A = this chain, B = another copy of it.
Amino acid sequence: MKRFQLFGYLNKDMDLLEKQLYRSVEGGGELLTETSLHLLKAGGKRLRPVFVLMGGKFGEYDLDKLSRVAIPLELIHSASLVHDDVIDDADTRRGEPTVKAKWGDKIAMYTGDYIYAKALALTAGLPNPRIHRILSKAMVEMSIGEMEQIRDFFNCEQTVRHYLRRIRRKTALLIAISCQLGALAAEADEEAVRLLYSYGYNVGMAFQIRDDLLDLSGTEKQIGKPPGSDMRQGNITLPVIYALEDERLRGELLGEIGRIRESRSGTGRAIDLILTGDGIKRAEELASRYVDKALAALDQLPNNRTKRNLRDIAHFVTGRAY
């Protein structure tokens, strides 16, 4: 996926951040620079840096200060992706071969460690200890979320609450603190900081639900990887949990998931089953409710151009803008 192009007025700053991002992983020798840049240059929406800059628009916008939060956040996100690809045995991400596929598990693991460490070394320059606390706490939560995901692989008894807690840690938290830290770095007032956190959290939840939906209902071209990847690796997402609640689907779906687990079946039949029920619709509705909460938080922020853009992003996330 390409970088968000919704807000031309941030493009110049985002171009600068992009260059800083590449520079930030230099200095680790040839191989680490190559693997790290491979990951970063494969692209991505740069959603977290965009949110940092936008959060900064509610205080004293200073690109230099903001970049010292934005770059570590994108690095932490990227490091988690590299490690995820090892766990998920993923060969492609964003349509490109993964570091894991190109260099193997071991090099992918140390590339992730290196990028995490680089992110932290960058935050070490920050004057506000609160920012550092928020960032490191988020990393703890993220790693707990990753572990929960492994633990819950192929667990067909998990509840919606289970799922929501997991994606909160895995995705929503980092997006929430992107908005929050942008505002904090720009010394915005406490109320704005709080509202931006709430906006980011709810958009993040909607974003992950949407992402999980696309894995079932999207095309390979749309999502940059074969559909059904989540299920193949055992990641039981919201529409699947809903479908399993449906008595008419549960029995056959359980059987299909069992066969997928033992690699005796593809995901085609399971996806067809899910599509016949109302799991997709219910998941879309829940995503919409999170978007509504994000919009409600936005409403209380002062009116400006950034606020309008944040509204566009919230709509974009639930696919209303597709």
Question: Which interface residue of A111, A112, A113, A114 has the most chain B CB atoms within 10 A?
Answer: A113
For residue A120, CB closer than 8 A to chain B, the reply is yes
On whether the beta carbons of B132 and A124 are closer than 8 Å, the reply is yes
Stretch of A140-148, A171-179, A209-217, A265-273 lying at the B interface: A140-148
Contact with A106, one of B29, B32, B87 (Cβ below 8 angstroms): B87
On whether the beta carbons of A143 and B117 are closer than 8 Å, the reply is yes
On whether the beta carbons of B107 and A147 are closer than 8 Å, the reply is yes
Contact with A125, one of B124, B125, B133 (Cβ below 8 angstroms): B133
For residue A232, CB closer than 8 A to chain B, the reply is no
Binding site secondary structure of chain A: helix
On whether the beta carbons of B121 and A137 are closer than 8 Å, the reply is yes
Number of copies: 2
In the complex formed, the residue of B with least CB distance to A122 is: B136
Asked, given contacts A83-B109, A87-B106, whether A117 binds B136 with beta carbons under 8 Å apart, the answer is yes
Residue tally, chain A, CB below 8 Å to B:
41
Task: Give the shortest distance, in Å, between A149 (CB) and chain B (any CB).
Answer: 9
Contacts beyond the supplied A87-B110, A105-B105, A113-B116: 4 A-B pairs with Cβ under 8 Å = A87-B109, A110-B146, A113-B143, A117-B140
21 contacts between A and B (CB under 8 A): A28-B143, A28-B144, A32-B143, A32-B144, A32-B147, A83-B109, A86-B105, A87-B106, A87-B109, A106-B150, A109-B109, A110-B143, A110-B150, A111-B147, A114-B144, A114-B147, A117-B142, A117-B143, A120-B120, A125-B129, A132-B132
